[in-house]
Amino acid sequence: MKINTRIPALANPRNYNELVFVAENYVNRAVCRRAAALERRENRKKGNSNNGR
């Protein structure tokens, strides 16, 4: 199981910090992608062509 491989990492503070850092980067990237997708969708609804076409 994947859970068993993560328990020793959580027990070690250095590895825990790395996991938190990776998780924050992943969340930030996901939020940025979601915001960009929402913006494109709104622009499409309005009929704006901000992409230079």
Where in the chain are the domains? 2-46
DSSP classification of residue 51: T
* Per-chain mean pLDDT for the chain: 72
Which pLDDT does position 37 carry in this prediction?
93
Selected residue with higher pLDDT from 46 and 17: 46
Is the pLDDT at 52 greater than 70? The verdict is no
Which pLDDT does position 27 carry in this prediction?
84
Where does residue 19 rank: exposed (0-12), middle (13-18), buried (19+ CB within 10 A)? middle
Q: What percent of the chain has pLDDT over 70?
A: 57
Once rounded to an integer, what is the mean pLDDT over residues 32-48? 88
